[in-house]
Every structure is written in C-alpha cells, then in structure tokens.
Amino acid sequence: MKILIGDDHVLFREGLRRLLEQLKEGASFQEASNFDELLEKAGAGETYDLVLTDLRMPGWPGFSGIQMLRERQPDAKVVVVSASEAHHDVRDALEHGASGYIPKSSSVKIMLSALDLIFSGGVYVPPTVLREGTEAETRIGSGAGAMPPTDPQLEQLLTQRQREVLDRLREGKSNKQIAHELGLSEGTVKIHMTAIFKSLGVRNRTQAAMAFPQSHSA
C-alpha cells in the first residue's frame, strides 16, 4: 500500500500517517506541504493506492485540483481530508472525482471506517454534514424507516441512507419528493445522488436505477 498525503500542517500529516499505519500494516508514505509539491509527487512516476489531500492548502487551484490528481494517479483513491464541513465543499469534491470526504473533526474510528468503505469501492460522505436534525430524520433513525433487505453488494457499496435515496429514485421520485419523504434538504439529496452515482459507476438516474435489482420487502 502506497499512500501520498498532502497537507500544510506537519503535525496533522504525522498524525494521519500514524493512523493509517494501523489500517494498512507495512504501508509506505510520501508527504507534501503544498499543492504544487503534491501534484509533482503524484506525477513523478510512482503509483499510489491512496492520495489524501487537504482543501485550500498553499497553491490550491480549486476543486479542479482533484481532477489533476486523478489524471496523474488514475488508479488511486483520491480522498479529501478537510476542516471544512460545508455542503458545497463536499458536493464539489465528489463531483470533481473524490472517492470520499473526511472531516478533520472525525474520530479515529470514523476515519478508519471511512477508508474501509472507500477501499471496498464505496464513497464516504460524512454524516455530520448530511444530518438535518428534523423530525423525519429522527423518526427514520429510530428504526421506523428501516431498510428492507438489499443485494449484498449494494449494502457494501452504499450506506443505509444512500440506499433509501436510491429506492426512491427507482420509484421515479424527484429530488424534492425524496427530500420531503426523508426529511432532508434538496442539497443533501444531491450530495447523496453524487455519491450513489460514483459508487455504482453510473452517470445518471436511469443507469443508477438499473445498476442492481431493486430492494425488496421481507
């Protein structure tokens, strides 16, 4: 496992490296303190399995930087690790090709779980960003909206909330209708849609609806 870490804070890079050593024993690391250095190392001929990048580090060109990293490391998982938990940053990162978005406020357990999901082929979206705190959210979280059984591969790739969104997409419901039923904002539904499309390797709603057999009731 070869990992490239880009962040302008040396203490955070060291902490992240030690954390990742728990997840991938024997992993090797390269580090960069600014985006130009990160991009240079990504294009120097070494092949990485994972590229972790901060947002708005020195030299950061905007979210096109994620695409630039992916062009240089097409087989790597490019993941954003950022202090920002803004909806638009999460969505922009995913739309520009990130395989996940992990807030720096995440616990060790959450970060390791997020990377496990990403290496399984899923896309990690932080629950802290997506949590709406509405009555509907509380009702669903308490078990009233429990998911029916699904394809095992789909369960591995998508979170429960993403599967709930996908089920409603398959019913032909609009983002507005899905948001209303799940007690979410339309912006949050759009983030889930982006993550679903990336996880399933599809480009639109029709392809997503056909990607796996639909969930079925027990």
Sorted by where each begins, the domain ranges of the chain are: 2-128, 131-211
23 and 51 Cβ atoms separated by less than 8 Å: no
pLDDT, one tens digit per residue, over 159-179 is 888 889 999 998 889 999 999
pLDDT, one tens digit per residue, over 116-166 is 888 888 888 887 666 543 333 333 333 333 333 345 556 677 888 888 999
At residue 170, the pLDDT reads 87
At residue 213, the pLDDT reads 53
CA–CA gap between residue 125 and residue 118 (Å, rounded): 10
pTM of the model: 0.67
At residue 150, the pLDDT reads 45
Averaged confidence pLDDT in the chain: 83
Residue predicted with more confidence, 20 or 129? 20
Q: What is the DSSP letter of 171?
A: T
End-to-end CA distance of the chain: 40
Q: Given a cut of 80, is residue 27 above it in pLDDT? A: yes
CA–CA gap between residue 195 and residue 173 (Å, rounded): 18
pLDDT, one tens digit per residue, over 63-101 is 999 999 999 999 999 999 999 988 889 889 988 999 999
What band does 33 get if pLDDT is binned at 50, 70 and 90? Answer: very high
At residue 181, the pLDDT reads 92
Note the CATH architecture for domain 2-128: 3-Layer(aba) Sandwich (3.40)
Class of domain 131-211: mainly alpha
Nearest CA to 105 among 82, 127, 86? 82
